[in-house]
Amino acid sequence: MSKIEAIKKMMYAKSIAVIGASNKKGSVGNELMQRLIDFGYKGKIYPINLNDKEIEGIPAFKNISEIKAEVDMAVLAVPSKAILGVIDECHSANISNIIIISAGFKEIGGEGVVLENEVVKKICKYKMNMIGPNCLGIINSKTKMNASFNPTNPNDGKIGFATQSGAIASGIINLLHKKSFGFRQVVSLGNQADIDFLDIIEFWEKDAGVEIIMLYIESIPNSERFREICTRVSKVKPIILLKSGRSEMGGRAIASHTGSLAGDDISVDALLKSSGVTRELYLRDFINTAQIFNNCKMPNGEKLAILTNAGGPGIISVDTANDYGIQLAKLTENTMTKLKAILPPQASAKNPVDIIASASLEQYTNSAEILLKSKEVDILLVIYLYITVKNDVALIENLEILKKKYPNKTILTVFETSKEFYQKFAEMNSTIPVYNYTVDAISSLKRMIDRKKFLEKGTQSPTRFDVDKKKVEAIIAETKQNNVKTLSTFQSLEVFNAYKIPLAKYNLANNFEDAKTIANQIGYPVVLKISSTKITHKTDIGGVITNIKNQKELQYKWQELFDKLEKNNLTKSINGVVVMQQIDGTQREFVAGVVKKENIGNLAMFGMGGIFIETLNEVAFRPCPLNLNDAEELITSTKAYKLMGNIRGYAKADTEKMKEILLKLSQLVEDFFEIIEIDVNPIMIDKSGEIFAVDARIIIK
């Protein structure tokens, strides 16, 4: 039985054995029984208890072997030390699907780790399937199955929620019990010793009852599988994810800028973005975003109209929309004329539309309809403050009618009113999302617009280029033979040359006569750079000399360079000096690179370069292999992108060529697993807009 088939049998179980069922109030075994009974589960329940003849009025069995009927799933709530024996009993009774509620496994370390490993061995040996251990259980609202010890039964809805934390599951179910949406299925995964959240996502991919996926996770053990599954599933069902542990930074690579900037959470964030996953950092935003995805249709466009009965909140909404890059709809004269006809003279018909504090229910409703009917508005944000007239419940009811009348428009609201409204709202089964604060509404809307853009991009395959792989193979083989891990500057440039990455003209000089010949061939001005497999940052020891204008200066600077090397006992640490064309007339410097991250794989980077790269930290990351969309997002998602436009006489840079550089770097690391870090810093743009890589560092295993 595959994992997906096993999860389906568990989620739609027609018979459940509760091993460790109890009549003792407050015990986990009793709570499991109570939840199954109270929620209205229609299947067969088989309580297993050594002493009691019945549990909560249901006949009990001393042992699982006494049950003569088929059991789809067993829920285990026994001491951890008894688990191995119970698994043997389940196997003997032909029960292949189990949920281990019990704690006392790897989460406590030491003996718990050993015990969990033994459990996994048995599960594999018997070809069983397991959720847990150390979990809350599972819930299917459609079948009224609450096989958990969570005290609250969730509202039925279209959300599937999988979580590594049982407490988070319980808290969210309790929080949302009075909200206008619910959960179709909830899975508490615990330690994920067997079935993990990716198995659950694949199951929900095929379950029509689940239309939105929410995830709370603490780690991503297999980034390649994560990206493959989530990229596929997120095309048809939104995935909203909250990941904890983002403040913990892993070990930083010190040899390259790319490695030092690619912190653990930055790597995870890049993986999530490339997979189409909507990430939230806080529990409040996690719930808010779920609310808009649950209750709103994807807007056809992105233009927002704001309707308010108070000027201050309207202005705040405009500022917030601007912060999130959401466009305000420019209302036509025709639309504003219609609004003015129904509003008092003091009202403002411009966006935001301020209908003032004394606005009647009719004015609110008619104004909303005028805006929804207008072609220039895609999204309507309605702000209501209880000031003079209390129309909150009636306004929501009217907006529900308008939502059905204009199904292609998106409506969301911010209500600042009395607590009585929220009590009534919980009973209304409304499909209009209601927020307490403007920022919650706008940030949720931004998530929906981002998803819209993700879906519009479609699926692309990684771009491949015709390159000289044999040349790179020879360079890497030579480096390995010399037992070093860092390619010299010249070797790194030669690798880039083999992959047709645009470079400033260069060659390697072993003495001054070589340097003079190369400089004459390239043309002055030139740059001198030491080439070494041992010196990481050349500028720190004065190993880079720029803007050498003629042969006389070249001779002087050559001597100056070697005097510095000799003074610092570094003469033997270099294998030559790169003489390179000076790229003049620009301060536009960028950085690109790739770093291999544990559990993530190859991660490409682009951003603002130069010597202040780590100080400014204006960079973006995406997992490899890159496609054209990934390369474009890398370039456009940082402020560095603005430097590529027409600035003070500098021509606009060739962004297509910059994309090619990123795509070729991605291909390079995919072609050669030995490469663990690449730094291209800086990439320079001259006055004419031409792009040149002028320095390189490559590190191999």
Tens of pLDDT, residue by residue over 218-235, are 888 788 899 999 999 999
Q: What is the CATH number of domain 3-218?
A: 3.40.50.720
pLDDT score of 427 more than 80: no
Alpha helices in 388-481 (DSSP H): 392-405, 419-428, 438-457, 469-481
pLDDT score of 177 more than 70: no
Share of residues in the chain with pLDDT > 90 (%): 70
Q: 21-25, 119-123, 172-176, 476-480: which has the minimum mean pLDDT?
A: 172-176
What pLDDT score was predicted for residue 646?
Answer: 66
Beta bridge partners of 678: 594, 698
Domain boundaries in the chain? 3-218, 299-457, 460-504+583-701, 508-580
Q: What is the CATH number of domain 508-580?
A: 3.30.1490.20
Helix 223-233 crosses helix 264-274 at what angle (to 10 degrees)? 30
Intrachain domains 299-457 and 460-504+583-701 with the same fold: no
Residues 6+ apart with CB under 8 A from 617: 261
Rounded Cα distance, 644 and 691, in Å: 10
Instruction: For residues 431-444, give the mean pLDDT.
Output: 94
Q: 44-58, 613-627, 668-682: which has the minimum mean pLDDT?
A: 613-627
pLDDT score of 613 more than 80: no
Q: 549-553, 633-637, 673-677: which has the minimum mean pLDDT?
A: 633-637
pLDDT band at 349; cut points 50, 70, 90: very high
pLDDT score of 610 more than 70: no
pLDDT score of 27 more than 70: yes
Instruction: For residues 28-45, give the mean pLDDT.
Output: 96
CA distances from 412 to 20, 180, 277, 336 (A): 47, 13, 22, 21
Rounded Cα distance, 206 and 209, in Å: 9
Sign, CA torsion 310/312/313/319:
positive
Rounded Cα distance, 222 and 197, in Å: 11
User: Tokens representing 463?
Assistant: 């771009």
What pLDDT score was predicted for residue 614?
Answer: 55
Q: Is 549 exposed, middle or buried (0-12, 13-18, 19+ CB in 10 A)?
A: exposed
User: Tens digits of per-residue pLDDT, 68-97?
Assistant: 999 999 999 999 999 999 999 999 999 999
pLDDT score of 46 more than 70: yes
User: Tens digits of per-residue pLDDT, 683-701?
Assistant: 998 888 889 999 989 999 8
Indicate the average pLDDT of the chain. Answer: 90
Q: Which of 489-492's residues contact partners 24+ apart within 8 Å by CB, and which partners?
A: 489/529, 489/530, 489/531, 489/532, 489/538, 489/578, 489/695, 489/696, 489/697, 490/531, 490/575, 490/576, 490/578, 491/531, 491/533, 491/698, 492/696, 492/697, 492/698
Q: Is 482 exposed, middle or buried (0-12, 13-18, 19+ CB in 10 A)?
A: exposed
The DSSP secondary-structure symbol of 460 reads: -
User: Tens digits of per-residue pLDDT, 527-585?
Assistant: 999 998 877 677 777 789 999 999 999 999 999 999 988 888 888 888 899 999 998 75
pLDDT score of 101 more than 50: yes
What pLDDT score was predicted for residue 586?
Answer: 58
Q: 140-154, 174-188, 380-394, 521-535: which has the minimum mean pLDDT?
A: 174-188
CB-CB contact of 635 with 624 (8 Å): no
Rounded Cα distance, 296 and 380, in Å: 11
The H or E element containing residue 217 is strand 212-217
What class, spelled out in words, does domain 460-504+583-701 have in CATH?
Answer: alpha beta
Rounded Cα distance, 604 and 582, in Å: 27
Beta bridge partners of 647: 650
CB-CB contact of 317 with 304 (8 Å): no
pLDDT score of 255 more than 50: no
Between the ranges 92-101, 181-190, 249-258, 262-271, where is the mean pLDDT highest? 92-101
Rounded Cα distance, 626 and 634, in Å: 10
Beta bridge partners of 45: 16
Q: Which residue has the higher pLDDT, 178 or 658?
A: 658
Rounded Cα distance, 15 and 74, in Å: 9
Rounded Cα distance, 239 and 214, in Å: 6
- Of 666, 230, 235, 227, the residue nearest 463 (C-alpha): 666
Instruction: For residues 589-600, give the mean pLDDT.
Output: 86
Q: Which residue has the higher pLDDT, 423 or 186?
A: 186
DSSP β-ladder status, 577-581 and 506-509: antiparallel
- Of 463, 460, 536, 461, the residue nearest 499 (C-alpha): 463
What pLDDT score was predicted for residue 582?
Answer: 93
Topology adopted by domain 299-457: Rossmann fold (3.40.50)
Rounded Cα distance, 410 and 398, in Å: 15
- Of 442, 370, 444, 443, the residue nearest 409 (C-alpha): 370
Instruction: For residues 29-53, give the mean pLDDT.
Output: 96
What pLDDT score was predicted for residue 261?
Answer: 43
CB-CB contact of 220 with 198 (8 Å): no
pLDDT score of 451 more than 50: yes
* 591 SS3 class: strand
Annotate 341-374 with three-state secondary structure.
Answer: HHCCCCCECCCCEECCCCCCHHHHHHHHHHHHHC
What pLDDT score was predicted for residue 689?
Answer: 85
What pLDDT score was predicted for residue 262?
Answer: 41
What pLDDT score was predicted for residue 152?
Answer: 86
CB-CB contact of 466 with 667 (8 Å): no
User: Tens digits of per-residue pLDDT, 275-329?
Assistant: 999 999 999 999 999 999 999 989 999 999 999 999 999 999 999 999 999 999 9
pLDDT band at 33; cut points 50, 70, 90: very high
- Of 481, 469, 305, the residue nearest 378 (C-alpha): 305
pLDDT score of 256 more than 70: no
CB-CB contact of 21 with 29 (8 Å): yes
Rounded Cα distance, 71 and 16, in Å: 6
Share of residues in the chain with pLDDT > 70 (%): 94
CB-CB contact of 147 with 137 (8 Å): yes
Rounded Cα distance, 603 and 594, in Å: 5
* 503 φψ region: left (φ > 0), alpha (ψ -120 to 50), beta (else): beta
- Of 490, 470, 492, the residue nearest 531 (C-alpha): 490
Q: Is 513 exposed, middle or buried (0-12, 13-18, 19+ CB in 10 A)?
A: exposed
CB-CB contact of 93 with 67 (8 Å): yes
* 119 SS3 class: helix
pLDDT band at 611; cut points 50, 70, 90: low
Answer whether the bond into residue 352 is a cis peptide, omega within 30°.
Answer: yes
DSSP of 470-483, one letter per residue?
Answer: HHHHHHHHHHHHTT
DSSP β-ladder status, 577-581 and 544-548: unpaired
Q: Is 31 exposed, middle or buried (0-12, 13-18, 19+ CB in 10 A)?
A: buried
User: Tens digits of per-residue pLDDT, 125-174?
Assistant: 999 999 999 999 999 999 999 999 988 888 899 999 999 988 888 888 87
The H or E element containing residue 631 is helix 628-636
Q: Which residue has the higher pLDDT, 389 or 663?
A: 663
